[in-house]
Amino acid sequence: MTAAPAAPVSRGHPAHRALWSWKRWAIGVAAVGLLAVAVLAERPLLGESVHTFTHLRWLPVFWALVFEALSMLSLALLERRILILAGHRLSVGRAVSIAYASNAMAQSLPIVGSGAATAFTYRRMVSHGAEPTLAGWTLTLAGVASNIAFVVILSIGGLVSGETFAMVAGGLGLVLSALVIALGVLAVRRATVRERVGRAAVWVLRLVQRVIRRPKGEAAGVVGSVMADLTAFHLHRRDAFHVVMSAFRNWAFDLLCLAFCIKATGAHVPWWGIVLAWAAGSGGAALNLTPGGLGVVEVALTGALVAVGVPSTAALTAVLLYRAITFWLAIVVGWPIYWRLSSEHEVATVPAAAPPRPAAAETPAEE
C-alpha cells in the first residue's frame, strides 16, 4: 500500500523557505547551548577519570564502537522492515540516516527530545512517499517492538542475576511479553481475534471519552478506522521474526557496547549483573531531564556497576567511555546528517493531525 509522495511545498516560496531555515537554526542553537552546559556539568567526572583513559585497551574500544554502530543499524532496519510490511520500501542508507539524525535530536534536547525526534522521523518518512497513517503506525509499532524486546532482555537479566525479587520479576516480564506478542500477532492475522480486540477497545475508548472528552467521534468509528489501518500490515512469520530480531539486536548490541567498554578498562565484566546495571543507565536516560540524561545516567550507571562488582575507578572510566560512544559520538555524527536531510527537501505537506506516539516513552532512541 504505497502512495505517491506528498506534494512538496514549492522551493520558490520565500516565506516558507525563510521559516524552515529559521526553525533549523533555532534547533541547532538550542542544542549547542544545552550541550555546552552539559559539558561544563561533566567536567568534575572527567577530571576524576581522565588519567585512566591513557591505559585503555584499544581493541575492546574498537569492538565497542562496532557494536554501537550495529545497534543503530538495527534500529534503522526495524523501522524499515515495518514499512515494508505495508508495501513501502525505504533504502537502507536512507533509513540509517534518519535513525542517526532523529537519535541526535532526541539526545540533545531535554524533555521534548523524544517528541521532536518522532516528529522528524514521521516527516522524513512522509516526504519519501509513505502515507501519513502508515508512517505513524510504523513509529508506533517500532516503539512497541522495541519496548517488548527491552522488557524481555531485562527479564532474562533478572533471571540470571540470582536475586529472588529480580528472578520473579523477570519471569513475570517474560510471560507478559509473550502474551502481548501473541495477542498482537493474532489481532493482525485473524479476523475473529481482531474483532474481539476491537470490541474491548471500543469499550475502553468510550470510558476515556466520558472522562476527557477525547478523541472526538463515535468510539466504534474511531476504533474501526484504526483497525483498518493496522490490517495494511501483512504480517507473516518471517516478517515478524525480522522485526522482533531487529528490536532485540538494537538493545543487545548496545549492551555489548557497555560490556566492551568495561573490558577496555581491564576490569572483569560481571555478566550475571550487567543487564540490570545497564537497565539502570537506560532508566536514567529515559527521564530526559537533561540532554541525553547527562549526569543522571553517569551517576546511576556507575553506581550500578560498582554494586555488581566493578571497581569504582574502572566503573567510572567505563561509563564515560560508553557515554562518549553512545552519546557524544552519536551527536557528532547525527547532527550533520540531520542538517543534510533537512536541506535536501522542503518539508512535505503533512496532514495537521499529529502522528501516533510510540507506545514507549524513549525507546527507539539510543542512549
Domain residue spans of the chain:
37-148+243-344
**Confidence check: pLDDT of 351 > 60:** no
pLDDT of 74-88, one tens digit each? 989 888 887 777 667
**Confidence check: pLDDT of 276 > 90:** no
Cell numbers representing residue 209 in the block: 471519552
Q: Which of 337, 316, 341 is nearest to 108 (CA)?
A: 337
**Confidence check: pLDDT of 1 > 80:** no
Q: Of 42-56, 57-71, 96-110, where does mean pLDDT reach its minimum?
A: 42-56
pLDDT of 87-98, one tens digit each? 677 888 888 998
Residues β-bridged to residue 348: 8
Contact 75, 364 (CB under 8 A): yes
Does the pTM exceed 0.85?
no
| Residue of higher predicted confidence among 231 and 249 | 249
Question: Which of 9-13, 105-109, 308-312 has the largest mean confidence?
Answer: 308-312
Peptide bond into 215 cis (omega under 30): yes
The secondary element (H helix, E strand) that includes residue 223 is helix 219-230
Output the pLDDT for position 199: 81
**Confidence check: pLDDT of 319 > 70:** yes
Output the pLDDT for position 359: 42
**Confidence check: pLDDT of 364 > 50:** no
Contact 188, 231 (CB under 8 A): yes
Q: Which of 122, 82, 144 is nearest to 359 (CA)?
A: 144
**Confidence check: pLDDT of 347 > 70:** no
Amino acid at 14: P
Residues 203 and 50: their CA atoms lie apart, in Å, by 58
- Which band of pLDDT confidence, cut at 50, 70 and 90, is reported for residue 56? confident
For the packed helices 219-230 and 191-212, what is the interaxial angle rounded to 10 degrees? Answer: 140
Output the pLDDT for position 186: 67
- Which band of pLDDT confidence, cut at 50, 70 and 90, is reported for residue 250? very high
pLDDT of 125-153, one tens digit each? 888 777 777 777 778 778 878 888 888 88
Amino acid at 309: G
Average pLDDT value over all residues in the chain: 74
Exposure of 209 in the CB half-sphere (CA atoms within 13 A) = 14
